[in-house]
Amino acid sequence: MSDHHHDHDAHGHDVHVTHYSTKDYLTGFVLAAILTIIPFWLVMGNVLAPETTRYVILGFAAVQLIVQMVYFLHLSSKSEGGWNMMALLLTVVILVIVMSGSIWVMHHMNENMMPGMGPNSTHTMT
């Protein structure tokens, strides 16, 4: 109980719970830079087959997302008593539903269009 009380007092004076460090930012920056340069190199240099490149660069984007969240946004399962993470997880769930749902529905709609009616009619005709 007294521990709690003490903790509270400390918070009252010190606004910032997160402590930013130069090392964190530099690590994040170097990792992000590497994870940016590789996809650009893959696409501009035509290193891999286009189909493979597509998945590889999406993978790099996902990894960079996590890197920036950890090193720049200082996100952890503990920040704001876990509510940041909860809100993020809910957002990810909705995001996945919106994205995959749209792509799935519209793809099938295009597939079932009569030839020449879909937006990609020139592709389906030939």
Partner 1 sequence: MSEIKQTITGGSIADDVSGRYISRDHHPEQGTLLGFWLYLMSDCLIFASLFATYAVQGRSYAGGPTGAELFELPLIALNTTFLLVSSLTFGFAMIAAQAKNLGKARLWLVVTGILGLAFLCVELYEFHHLIHIGAGPQRSGFLTAFFALVGTHGLHVTFGIIWLVTLFFQLGKHGLTPENMRRLSCLSLFWHFLDLIWIFVFTFVYLMGVLP
Compute the least distance from the CB of residue 47 to partner 1, in Å. Answer: 12
Q: How many CB atoms lie within 10 A of CB 83?
A: 9
Residue 61 interacting with partner 1 (CB under 8 A): yes
Identify whether the C-beta of residue 68 lies closer than 8 Å to the C-beta of residue 28: yes
Distances (CA, A) of 126 to 76, 110, 122: 51, 15, 6
By CB under 8 A, the residues from 86 to 105 that bind partner 1 are 87-88, 90-91, 94-95, 98-99, 101-103
Please give the Cα distance from 24 to 76 (Å, whole number).
Answer: 14
Q: At residue 2, what are phi and psi to the nearest 5 degrees?
A: -65, -30
Which one of residues 81, 112, 125, 126 is an interface residue with partner 1 (CB under 8 A)? Answer: 81
Is residue 38 involved in binding partner 1 (CB under 8 A)?
A: no
CB atoms within 10 A of CB 71: 20
- List contacts with partner 1 (CB under 8 A): 1, 4-5, 8, 11-12, 15-22, 24-26, 28-29, 32-33, 36, 39-40, 43-44, 50, 53-54, 57-58, 60-61, 64-65, 68-69, 72-73, 80-81, 83-84, 87-88, 90-91, 94-95, 98-99, 101-103, 106, 119-120
